[in-house]
């Protein structure tokens, strides 16, 4: 069963983002200066994936706790501030709110991030059909036969209903949203230092999708070569970036390897010998041209360490990936943003910060871009 596409996202009270609701298409490009909040857009979406895996409160705690992720600007006195995230996928809309424990009433550790509310609804009709609604420890779900089932005081504040109720036969829509969000992949740069996983062989296992850290890149390449038997797109992308250069893929014993053979040198260069920029470019090829792409791929400043001449070839690879998935890119490179517009049709949306608050130019309060 194909997973529903992401139609729109909402972010409220997340660091420099007071309130944003924006549409999502096949290619979504956000460009702005450092410090404007581009990465906050990326990180907020990553928290939705953590909700699907039941880890959103742990992820917030690991990132410094609720105080670190909540809206950093002025707040109204006497009103609790909660992190609000939402995503509409097809006709299904999921939302979640995370806040601090209420003294004397919540069963939690002090200052522990807690899931306060969750909601899943079927939209598009005269009115929404609520499929799951959670308030504190209690959740009410609509089963496949239409019956409403209440689970009173069964949820801990540290867990999500989205992850806790995993009976796909009884709650099929919940299962669809969980699988769709969990399938998202986020690449926040790739390590290219001497000890980086990218520079080492990978286990020779069929690997259809690149890991977030790129550690199985050699296995992704080997899967295209040996399982699909087709590396045409990969070879074309490398030729486009490094004319005359060939990617060599091999499996030796339990490990997969790759190397580049340059036209003017007598031997191939293994992964541990490649420059940081070349290795980063190859990792992006693995993320965007793998055997099976995730339903949604987010790249945070993928142009880092790349020579400017590689930006247009990378934009053409992004265009090819958008035929198979949705791509979200944040960048501070105007040149890369322009290349994405020319080669892939992605209209760059400019991120600005006004009085400490992140905004997107041209985005209306109703969640539409004025030029659409």
The pLDDT of residue 1 is above 70: no
Tokens of 221: 């390449």
Asked whether 212 and 186 are in contact (CB, 8 A), the reply is yes
The pLDDT of residue 275 is above 70: yes
Task: Tell me what the mean pLDDT of segment 350-354 comes to.
Answer: 94
The pLDDT of residue 256 is above 70: yes
- DSSP assignment, residue 70? B
- 36-40, 240-244, 281-285: range with lowest mean pLDDT: 36-40
- The fold for domain 6-184+352-360 equals Rossmann fold (3.40.50)
Asked whether 195 and 179 are in contact (CB, 8 A), the reply is no
Half-sphere exposure of 233 (CA within 13 A, CB side): 20
The pLDDT of residue 111 is above 80: no
Contact residues for 246 (Cβ-Cβ < 8 A; gap 6+): 235, 238, 260, 261
- What are the domain boundaries of the chain? 6-184+352-360, 186-343
CA atoms of 96 and 87, how far apart (whole Å): 9
Q: Which residue has the tokens 């969990």?
A: 182
- Model confidence pLDDT, tens digit, residues 313-349: 999 999 999 999 999 999 999 999 999 999 999 999 9
Task: Tell me what the mean pLDDT of segment 232-248 comes to.
Answer: 97
Closest by CA position to 45, among listed 9, 12, 71, 13: 9
The pLDDT of residue 72 is above 90: no
- Calculate Rg over the CA atoms of the chain: 22
* pLDDT on residue 107: 56
Give burial (CB, 10 Å; 0-12/13-18/19+) of 317.
buried
* pLDDT on residue 125: 78
Where does 186-343 sit in CATH, by number?
3.40.50.300
């Amino acid at each position: 069963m194909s997973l529903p596409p992401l139609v729109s996202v909402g972010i409220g009270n997340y660091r420099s983002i007071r309130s944003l609701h924006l549409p999502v298409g096949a290619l979504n490009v956000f460009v702005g200066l450092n410090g404007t909040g581009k990465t906050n857009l990326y990180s907020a979406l990553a928290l939705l994936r953590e909700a699907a895996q039941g880890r959103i409160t742990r992820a917030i705690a690991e990132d410094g706790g609720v105080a670190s992720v909540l809206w950093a600007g002025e707040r109204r006195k006497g009103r609790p501030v909660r992190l609000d995230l939402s995503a509409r996928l097809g006709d299904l809309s999921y939302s979640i709110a995370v806040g601090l424990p209420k003294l004397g009433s919540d069963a939690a550790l002090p200052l522990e991030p807690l899931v306060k509310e969750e909601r899943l609804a079927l939209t598009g009709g005269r009115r929404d059909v609520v499929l799951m609604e959670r308030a504190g420890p209690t959740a009410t779900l609509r089963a496949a036969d239409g019956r409403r089932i209440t689970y009173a005081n069964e949820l801990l504040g540290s867990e999500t209903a989205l992850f806790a109720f995993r009976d796909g036969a009884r709650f099929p829509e919940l299962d669809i949203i969980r699988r769709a969000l969990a399938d998202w992949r986020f690449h926040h740069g790739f390590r290219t230092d001497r000890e980086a996983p990218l520079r080492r062989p990978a286990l020779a296992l069929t690997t259809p999708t690149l890991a977030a850290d790129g550690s199985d890149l050699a296995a992704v390449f080997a899967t295209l070569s040996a399982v699909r038997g087709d590396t045409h797109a990969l070879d074309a992308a490398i030729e486009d970036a490094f004319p005359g250069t060939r990617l060599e893929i091999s499996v030796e014993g339990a490990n997969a390897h790759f190397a580049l053979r340059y036209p003017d040198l007598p031997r191939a260069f293994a992964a541990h010998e490649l420059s940081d920029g070349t290795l980063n470019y190859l990792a992006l090829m693995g993320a965007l041209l793998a055997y099976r792409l995730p339903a949604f791929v987010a790249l945070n400043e993928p142009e880092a360490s790349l020579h400017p001449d590689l930006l247009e070839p990378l934009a053409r690879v992004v265009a090819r990936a958008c035929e198979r998935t949705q791509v979200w890119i944040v960048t501070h490179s105007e040149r890369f943003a322009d290349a994405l517009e020319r080669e892939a049709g992605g209209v760059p949306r400019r991120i600005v910060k006004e009085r400490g608050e992140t905004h997107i130019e041209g985005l209306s309060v109703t969640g539409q871009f004025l030029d659409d």
